[in-house]
Amino acid sequence: MFQLGKTIVSEAILENEFVCNLSACHGACCVGGDAGAPLLEEETRIMDEIYDKVKPFLRPEGVKAIEEQGKWIIGTDGTLETPLIDDQDCAYVIFDGKTALCGIEQAYNQGLVDWKKPVSCHLYPIRVKDFSEFAAVNYDEWDICDPACALGKELEVPVYKFVKEALIRRFGEDWYMELEKIALEHKNNPNPRRH
d(CA 38, CA 126): 12
Give me the chain's average pLDDT, please: 89
pTM, two decimals, is: 0.82
At CA 172, angle to CA 190 and CA 22, rounded to 5?
75
Percent of residues in the chain assigned helix, strand, coil, to nearest 5: 45, 20, 35
Question: In this model, does residue 100 exceed pLDDT 60?
Answer: yes
The pLDDT of residue 191: 62
CB within 8 A of 5, min separation 6: which ones? 171, 175, 178, 195
d(CA 189, CA 88): 43
**Once rounded to an integer, what is the mean pLDDT over residues 67-91?**
91
- Reported as a single tens digit per residue, the pLDDT across 12-46 is 999 989 988 877 777 777 777 678 888 999 999 99
**Once rounded to an integer, what is the mean pLDDT over residues 153-175?**
93
Q: What is the band of 163 on the pLDDT scale with cuts at 50, 70, 90?
A: very high
Q: What is the band of 139 on the pLDDT scale with cuts at 50, 70, 90?
A: very high
d(CA 180, CA 156): 15
The pLDDT of residue 195: 47
At CA 139, angle to CA 169 and CA 25, rounded to 5?
90
